[in-house]
Structure 1
Amino acid sequence: MEPLVALTRACPGATLVLAAIVLASLVGLFAAPSMIERNLFRPFWLVSRRQYATLISSTFLHADLAHLFFNAFTFWAFAFPLERAIGTADFLALYFVGMVASDLGTYFKHRRDPGYQTLGASGAILAVLFASIVYSPSASIFILPIPIPIPAPVFAVAYLAYSYYASRHARGRINHDAHLAGALAGIAFVALTDPAAFERAVHVVVG
């Protein structure tokens, strides 16, 4: 219990965000399902129906437990170490930038589709993940069911390429536009706020 308390004290921003995501999602999934319907992000109706609050509220809700678990686990794995490295203020700023960027990516792609709707924290979390890669370019990432570690830069390039391809071809229900925008926002955030860290990452990658 003491290590958990120490972790939350050292990373209040990540703790607050994770708690909000888990609590809001569980309430929406089990106690008040109508909350999910009311807070879906619908780009087509954003301006005409003034659903501006959904730009934020939709990112704290999830479609099912599997969706919530995957996002919460990814956030836990990368957010807490990153906040310790860059500080709470910068971490929260990064998360907000990732959230806004993913919303904008979704809006511009689907603003003419009246039936499109989405929710989830994936875009903002990918901003955290990709910022973490910039700060730790020599690290490796494990992805089930792949049994071997993947070098972080290789994962980053492959993921961006896949997200771009999937976004162009609109395969499945996954919001690849939000993922791509969030990931790029994470990289851009580090490049603008900590150029030295970005330059070190580039040096590690290109040699």
Structure 2
Amino acid sequence: MGKLDLVTVIIIAANVIISYKGFGDYSFFDKYKFHVGGVRRGEQIRMVSSGFLHADTQHLLFNMLSLYFFADVVIALLTPIQFLLVYFGSLLVGSLLSLYFHKNEYNYSAVGASGAVSGIIYSAILLQPGMSLYMFFIPIPIPAYIFGIGYLLYSIYGMKNRIGNIGHDAHFGGAVGGYLITLLLSPWLFETNLLMIVLLAIPIVILFALKKMGKI
């Protein structure tokens, strides 16, 4: 395995190890999950540590598979350091957005790598808009941007229905983070992939509009 792939392996391994620690140790899970009251008391570590905890195995698997599909594209077209910048930057933006939306809900809590993964998905699609995915349960290739937009639509459903202890707000917060950070790192995309930049902005704008109108 090459050096670049190792970065993906380390991130996935960290998510798996920390998540499984949280599955069996509630005090550990409670100490490091995203919790508005805790963050507002000064426990800022939760803004990052919550991104390595998951509600259950299905939640962990969904996020890690999504990361697996897109991570190497970002690493190959940027650099390992820039990949980590997109990953952790998106995670932080997702947490900040969740804090903004729920700042008065002191008992609000959430976990998951969704913000970071959304950022990597959006980064990969911006960098390689023509890429397709082959899912084992669908016999035809799926355009990557369809998957990315679908991922955000799933976040709307999750937010409306408060599914699990999952940071659905962080999904599109992370997407915004990945979108903006990638454009800052690769301004040449405005010349080569302007159409995809506009297309990917649409669901972000819609999500924020729905939130502002109180629809989610």
TM-score tier after normalising by the smaller chain length = 0.7 to 0.9
| Stretch deviating more after TM superposition (142-151 or 131-140) | 142-151
Find 1:171's aligned residue among 146, 161, 183: 161
Structure 2 alignment gaps of length 5 or more: 199-216
What RMSD in Å do the two structures reach over aligned CA positions? 2.5
The alpha carbon displacement at 1:155 in A equals: 4.1
- The within-5 A match list for 1:1-207 is 6-7=1-2, 9-30=3-24, 32-47=25-40, 49-141=41-133, 148-157=140-149, 159-160=151-152, 162=153, 166=157, 170-173=160-163, 174-203=166-195
Q: Which deviates further from its counterpart, 98-107 or 79-88?
A: 79-88
**Distance in 2 between residues matched to 1:18 and 1:54, nearest whole Å:** 19
Give percent identity, aligned residues only.
30
Q: How many residues are paired up?
A: 196
Shift of 1:73: 1.4
Alignment CA distance shift 1:192-1:19 (3 Å):
same
Q: Aligned equivalents of 1:179 and 1:135: distance in 2? A: 19
User: Which segment drifts farther, 137-146 or 182-191?
Assistant: 137-146
Could you tell me how far 1:87 is from its partner in structure 2? 1.0
| Aligned counterparts of 1:77 and 1:159: Cα–Cα separation in 2 | 13
TM-score, scaled to structure 2 = 0.79
User: Using a 3 Å threshold, how does the CA distance of structure 1 residues 135 and 164 change in structure 2: closer, same or farther?
Assistant: same
Distance 1:145 1:109, change over 3 A: farther
Find the aligned partners of 1:81 and 1:34 in 2 and give their Cα distance: 37
Q: CA deviation at 1:190?
A: 1.6
Gap change, CA 1:75 and 1:205, over 3 Å in 2: closer
Which segments of 5 or more consecutive residues in structure 1 lack a partner in the other structure? 1-5
For the Cα contact (< 8 Å) 2:114–2:168, is it kept in 1?
no
Which whole-Å CA distance do the structure 2 matches of 1:182 and 1:205 have between them? 16
Tell whether the 8 Å contact from 1:134 to 1:198 is kept in structure 2 after alignment: no
Aligned-residue offset at 1:152: 2.8
C-alpha change, 1:41 and 1:199, in structure 2 (3 Å) is same
- Aligned mates of 2:46, 2:100 — CA distance in 1: 16
Contact kept? 2:70, 2:121, Cα under 8 Å: yes
Residue pair 1:153, 1:205 contacting (<8 A) in 2 also: no
